[in-house]
Structures are given as C-alpha cells and as structure tokens.
Amino acid sequence: MNREDFPILRQQVHKQPLVYLDNAATSQKPQQVLDAIVEAYSTWNSNIHRGVHHLSQVATMHHEEARKAVAQFINAREPEEIVFTKGTTDAINALAFSIGELLLHEGDEVIVSGLEHHSNIVPWQMVCARKKAVLRHIPLKEDLSLDIEAFKGMLSEKTKLVSVAQVSNVLGTIQPVKEIIALAHEKHIPVCIDGAQSVPHMKVDVQDLDCDFLAFSGHKMYGPTGIGVLYGKREWLEQLPPHEGGGEMINHVRWSGTTYNELPYKFEAGTPNFVGSYGLQKAIEYMEQVGLEAIEKHERELTEYCERRLGELEGVNVYAAGRPKVGVISFNISPNPLIPSSTNPFIHPFDIGTLLDQQGVAVRTGHHCAEPLIDELGVPGTVRVSFGLYNDKNDIDLFIEALQKAQMMLS
C-alpha cells in the first residue's frame, strides 16, 4: 500500500508526523484523484447531457463512464440502476421520501437496527411521522450482535421496508445482511443496505446480496466529497416517484403537468456533480489497482493488531472485542490504575482525543452519529480508531504510545 500516493500524509501536526486514524469519518485522497479533479475543471468543465458543443459532450461521456464504473464495482445489473447523490445521507433521505410516497400508510412499519447511524434513523423517523407509520428497531443481544430471532418476529404484513447497515460505524462489526435480506424477501419486503462503512473496505456484490437498495459515499472510499450513490433494482426505481423536481429529471413540462425522465435521471434533479463522479471513478480505479481482497486483508490485519495492542494496556474496554471487524475499533479507557485517586470509570473520550491530537494522532471521539447505540453502551461516547489502506502497524504503534501518555496525563 503506497502511502506516497496520499500527499496529506506527508505533513506534521503539532510538530509530530500525522497518524491519520479517522477513516470511518472520511478517507484521504490519492494523487490520482486530486489530479482528476484538476483535470476536469481545467480541460472539460461544462454542464452535461443537453449541450451539443464539444466540452459538454466530453463531460457527459466522463459522467456516464463513471456510472458504468460504479455499476461494475458493486456488480449492478446495469448502469441505469446507479443514481448519483451527494452521499449516503442524501441517498437514504431520497429513498425514504420516495418509499414513503409509494408504500407507507398509517400503521405501516419500517424496521432498522439498534446499530444504525443517524442517517439511517432520522430520515425514517421523518417519513414515518409524515405518514403516521411506525419505526421499529432490531434489538441487540448482550454481545452487541443483532437479535435475528427477534427480527423474525417483527416481520409482518405491516412491514414495508427494512434498512440496515452492513458494517457498524461505531463497532466495526459485520451484520448478517444476507440473512436479513432473505428473511425479509420471504415476506416480499424490500431491503436497503447502508454501505457507507462496507463498500470502501470489502467487496460488496449487490446481486449476490440480493439487496433492493444500497447507499454509500465517495468520500469514505478515497473519492471526493459531495458524491454518493443510491443503487436500486430497476423494478423498484421504475415504481418510485422522484424526490426532487427541476431540470434534468424531467421529460416534458407543461402547465397541465410534467412527465419524468427515464432511469436514472428522474432521480437526479439539477446539475449533476460530474466532477465528483469522475473523481469517484478514479478512486474506484485506484482501489481496484490495489485490489479489494488485498485491501480487506490488510485492514483486517491492522484491526486485529490494534485490538491486540489495546488489550495489552490496563483499563481499556474495547466494545464487541474479539468479533470480526472492518477497520473500526471503539473503546474507552480508565485512568491509570497505579494512581488510586482517580474515581471516574472512564476518562472522557474528548480528553483522550485532544491529547492524542497534540501528539499528531487523529481519531474520532463522541457518539459518532449513533446516539441510540451509545446509550445502549451506557457511556457518553467512545474513542474510535479506523483504518484505511494507507495505514500500517507503525501508525498503530505510535497511536498506542500516544494513548499511554494520554492515560497517564489524565489519571
């Protein structure tokens, strides 16, 4: 894994080499993606699809080639099943509005899980409130895994959609989404997968999963911000009404009414982020050049190594310890047990994060936009470390050394 491809990693923070362990929030960008963005704005920047001049045609070609690249990357049946969005949050909000208009009525139910990011909770709360429907969540077992037996009992004729994350953004644990999809499909219930934390780190095949929808973000997979994807099976996208109106998504507009464009354009109102899609394509090409299997293996080894190193420290509580994880570890740490004057069970995560930053180590602290899960853990927040393909064991060793210093200083 070539760290030299990522210019931002060469810098120092507070006179210390940057150790970037906040990849679950956003990833850094390789030079190839940065060059692509400059190339787009420098050589073929022009609004797409309806222009007859050369620049517009070139921009259109790149945008649609990016759509094809995304479709191939997740093994969609056709590029028309790929809707470009601003990111995972935008994709789930769009789906929530459209599904709500098509399927939800008073008393109907939507099911999410107890591990979800707010982006896979709040949009469903909003549409359920509008439609007088009910949002339910799959409970967690003691080991923080999903209670699949309870889920089976929740499915009924009232259930109109199930939406779950493939990988928890707090715990890093992999959810049994294939089983969840199969159980829901037995009752003809569509399933959306939040792939924000899975698509950047492992091979996701939508046909193998048989999911009806998949949402993910470009910025978490070495691409630009402001670009994401909502995959949907054609049979669903054709039924769903558009969630936004305006240019690009129309066929004809008359005072008597509007007809909508064909797939996927009826869901892409306004000027598309054609520079973002091009950058996303280059990020995909970069990941494929490295190899998805190689990325997954490398990050799994880093995660296991980091959890083992954390286990060597006194007072560290790793959540979902020992379970397979995808590049994310959340933990809390007690004051140094050699200093008996300390009374708090855990040092506040914000304090740990601040002292790590002073040593050049970037981590994420707080509730990670998953407050219901943090409440379940019974803590105000956690410290989260998360890995990308450019991290190595030296990063983890520097992090552990910095964490030990922070623990001592805050005891």
Residues with catalytic annotation?
A: 369
> CA dihedral defined by 220, 226, 228, 234, rounded to 10 degrees?
180
Helix 31-43 with 274-290: angle, nearest 10 deg = 150
| 199: phi then psi, degrees, rounded to nearest 5 | -55, -35
| Length of the chain counted residue by residue | 411
Residue type at 135 in one-letter notation: L
Residue type at 164 in one-letter notation: V
The secondary element (H helix, E strand) that includes residue 310 is: helix 292-311
What is the spatial order of strands in the sheet that 316-318 belongs to? 316-318, 328-333, 382-386, 364-366
CA 278 – CA 284 distance, rounded (Å): 10
Contact predicate 295/389, CB 8 Å: yes
Longest dimension (CA), the chain: 78
Joined together, the tokens standing for residue 361 give 């180590």
| 357: phi then psi, degrees, rounded to nearest 5 | -60, -40
For residue 129, how far is the Cα from the chain centroid?
Answer: 25
Per-residue DSSP letter, 167: B
Neighbours of 274 (CB within 10 A): 24
User: Burial code of 377-401, b = ≥16 C-beta within 10 A, e = fewer?
Assistant: bebebbbbbbbbbbbeeebbebbbe
